[in-house]
A and B are shown apart, each in its own frame.
Chain A
Amino acid sequence: MVFLIFLSITGIALNHLVDLRLDQRYVRTEWLLRWYGIEAPPVHSSYAVAGNRTTLLGERLYFNDQQVAEGITALSGAIAAPQFIVIASGNSLILLTGSGALVERMLLAGQLPGGAQAIGKVGEAVVLLSEEEIYRADEQFVSFTIASDVNYSDVSWSSSSNVPSDQLEVLYDAYRGTGITMARFLADLHSGRLFTRAGPIFIDVVGLLLIVLSVLGTILWLQGRPRRRKKADGPR
């Protein structure tokens, strides 16, 4: 009985995934995440910038504990420019507002042939290192020109640093916290997949039993009421 109610409730919830926004909510319970084997990957690199921190975990880029981009495979520095926080990520620049809102992930193809290998500042100007050339960015980060008047040693380059352990825990939580949606969890619960390989088999057996019970019940009902037949037959 309890089992049937459980199946019904999870089934109804699965039917209304979008209405209940279950595909946008995430499982955050620690033991459940461990059960799923969700582990955060090691930190690729991390840079402190204007009292904040940007970190690449796996292919996800975080600004403090907020994910700002994914599919990122390199992180080569971050600096605070007058209008933006600028994160250099190989073949792209990620521009954020001071509060960390995404302005744009800007591809550097056609502008910096080797992508951005390092980022730094000379005074207020932002410069990028690409294939041993130093490029100066304009204020809007739309065009880049070779800064022949700037030497490597003139630049205050962004350098990576270790993530403090308390911030690392927060980051790992953020990473794991978007691993499993409630929709996936409910589907696994409903199908029995949550309980190892035996789970779906158990659910299948229960389903078959329910079918057998339903069919047998219908047959008995169609055969009439046994008590009346007994009365009609009379005592032996």
Chain B
Amino acid sequence: MTDRVKTWWLRGVLPIVLWGLASAAYGQMGVYMETEDFLAAAFPDSEPRVEVIWIDNERREVLAEILDHPVNALRVSYWVSGDKSAWILDEIGKDRPITIGVVVQGDAIEMIRVLVFREIRGWEVRYPFFTDQFLGARLIGTEQQSVGLDQQIDGITGATLSVNALRGVTEVVLFLLQEARGSGE
């Protein structure tokens, strides 16, 4: 490679490529779906009511095991209509919270959406090729045994922490719903 070509690459093309990559990454941050739109998609024909579940110490331990970090909140609100419930939870991907919406019909996942993504990596988790893997997933395990999903969720290279966040929130939602139904809350 001649000096001239090298200079052209270093001064001309490379900065543009790097700027483009950085812009693309930052461009993926933002609000993908408003809460109201998510609820409208979850309950197209009905008006949901709000219910809450309190996080006691036993539940807190299970949540900490699922998410692999302590959980601070003392209660969680969710929307219910008939046998369907919708949940919106924040979970840290690498450094910042990802806002994730999950809809459960009966005891299986009906819809999962990334509503707000605030990190610069791992945004691929918002695409259907990834989120569709959760559809129909149910919870296995109980409070006494470690809980998990009954479906295999394939990860995405370079987005492991975001993938873990979505998987963790899905398990949390199914576990809390199971608890809410079991306790009649």
Contact = CB atoms under 8 A, between A and B. Distances in A.
Contacts of B47: 110
B23 interface: no
Q: Could you tell me the dominant secondary structure of chain A's interface residues?
A: loop
A142 B51 contact: yes
Contact of A104 (B49, B77, B79): B77
Contact of B50 (A71, A95, A101, A143): A143
Given A70-B97, A71-B96, A110 B74 contact: no
A106 B75 CA distance: 9
B45 interface: no
A109 interface: yes
Interface string B39-74: 100000001111110000000000000000000111
B154 interface: no
A143 B77 CA distance: 11
Nearest to B116: A71
Interface string B94-131: 00110100000000000000001010000000000000
Given A71-B116, A110-B50, A101 B90 contact: no
Nearest to A68: B72
A33 to B, nearest CB: 17
A91 interface: yes
A181 B50 CA distance: 38
Contacts of B16: none
B177 interface: no
B36 A142 contact: no
A140 interface: yes
Contact of A102 (B48, B50, B72): B72
Interface residues of A, number: 18
B59 to A, nearest CB: 14
B35 interface: yes
B36 A110 contact: yes
A105 interface: yes
A111 B74 contact: no
A10 interface: no
A104 B75 contact: yes
Nearest to B78: A107
B73 A109 contact: no
A150 to B, nearest CB: 22
Nearest to B34: A109
B97 A71 contact: yes
B74 A142 contact: no
B165 interface: no
B73 A110 contact: no
Nearest to B50: A142
B97 A110 contact: no
A99 to B, nearest CB: 12
A143 B51 CA distance: 9
Given A70-B96, A110-B39, A101 B72 contact: yes
B160 to A, nearest CB: 15
A103 interface: yes
B88 interface: yes
B97 A103 contact: no
Contact of B75 (A70, A103, A143): A103
Top 5 nearest A-B pairs (CB, nearest first) are: A109-B35, A103-B74, A104-B75, A102-B72, A106-B77
